[in-house]
Amino acid sequence: MKIEGLYKHFLYTPTGFLPVWEEGSGLLGLLPKERVLMELADLSVADREFTRIPEDYLVREIPESLLGYFQKQRTIPILNSFGEKKDEWDKPRLMAELSRSSWVVEQEEKRTSSPENSAEDRAKQSQWFTEVILQNFPDGLLATDLDGHTVFYNETFESEVLPRKWFRDSILQAEKLLKEMSKDLLGNYLKAHELRLDEGKISVQTFVADLECLVRVSVLRQKGKPLGYLYHFSPVGTKLSGADGEGSEFPSVTEAFSQKLPLETMLKEVEGSYIYHTLKRNQENVSHAALDLGVPRTTLQNRIKFLDLGSRFKLSKDQPIPRKKAGKPAPPKKPQPAPKAVLQEPKSKSGSKKRAPNPKKKSASKKKTKGK
């Protein structure tokens, strides 16, 4: 293994650090791109071969740029101690390995045991860990101040909730609509319970059909004073899913009734779940699933598209619905007119054409015979 072999791993990813992991030992450290470039520029070291990544190349501190990398990227390459690409981890897996690694634990123990700035370090660590949890929260989260201006939102809200038609992928549109919604919800709740905004914990929820989500609005407070609002967007399917005797997920009617969901939404969830399990039973073969369901194949295709089952249930990438062939269809052939019949004059026995009798001449000959 040469230095240039390590540098090639950085060509396929924008990160400045690559985690180095070993079976049994866990996370050994982080390989910085800057160190590899320095060694690569040194001609005396460039041709040197290594059996393992030198330990002095690795850093054992968590840089902020590594956590910021996951704002635009989903996974990060992982190297083994021999400089080979071992796997690709997402952010939760990396955070779990960091929390288990011995060098991170040692650093944390030193920080907590040192009397100087220990309280400040613990506060920073707690704040950092809270941000990590919020970023990886499976549902969409959005926090605003009392005036409705956005203070925080996580990746799930940005990627799955904000692009929907109601918000039109605009944070300003989202602020406007959510402010109006929370004003009506909280106003009605406070009026019905004879409360004020600064009294106790207040949380209300509603179903937004345009988002197909249950939205819970909670009042954020600090030292008894309201600071803003937290919006929690949870998909209807996660709230309705239950388990029957066979372990299959199926919408819970009791949960839907308690959430006061519209009938149309409940019917969509029931139909989508039933079609999904039928597709799974038939290895996602649409033709076979249509036979089991007793519907035409085209009808099932249309329902899969309408219910958006491909993205909701993460069906196979092989496209269970076959696509039509590209290209313009051939124009239909025009029917050719039938050939016109040609009238032919009858021929005499000698082969000459017979002339049709003239009615005028016939009448004239009759008059002559009468005169005689």
**Per-residue confidence at 3, pLDDT binned at 50, 70, 90?**
confident
Q: The tokens of 189 are what?
A: 């709740």
Task: List b or e across 251-269, with b for residues whose CB sees 16 or more CB atoms inside 10 angstroms.
Answer: bbeeebeebebeeebbebb
Give the whole-angstrom CA distance, residue 21 versus residue 15.
Answer: 16
Q: Lowest-confidence range among 13-22, 84-93, 305-314?
A: 305-314
**What are the CA-CA distances from residue 284 to residues 272, 298, 321 (Å)?**
14, 15, 9
Report the SS3 class of residue 222: strand
- Domains of the chain as residue ranges with CATH: 3-100 (no CATH), 126-235 (3.30.450.20), 253-312 (1.10.10.60)
- Which pTM value belongs to this model? 0.42
For the segment 171-215, what is each residue's pLDDT rounded down to a tens digit? 899 999 999 999 988 888 888 888 888 777 888 888 888 888 889
Q: Lowest-confidence range among 13-27, 60-74, 96-110, 243-257?
A: 243-257
**Closest to 18 measured CA to CA, from 71, 75, 92:** 75
Tell me the H-state helices in the chain: 3-10, 33-41, 43-46, 64-68, 91-100, 102-113, 118-135, 155-156, 171-193, 236-240, 253-258, 263-281, 286-293, 297-307, 309-312, 359-371
Q: Provide Rg for the chain, Cα atoms.
A: 39
- For residues 128, 132, 133, 136, the Cα torsion angle rounded to the nearest 10 degrees is 170
Give the whole-angstrom CA distance, residue 255 versus residue 238.
Answer: 11
pLDDT at 317 over 50: no
For the segment 241-291, what is each residue's pLDDT rounded down to a tens digit? 554 444 455 566 666 676 667 777 777 778 888 888 888 888 888 898 888
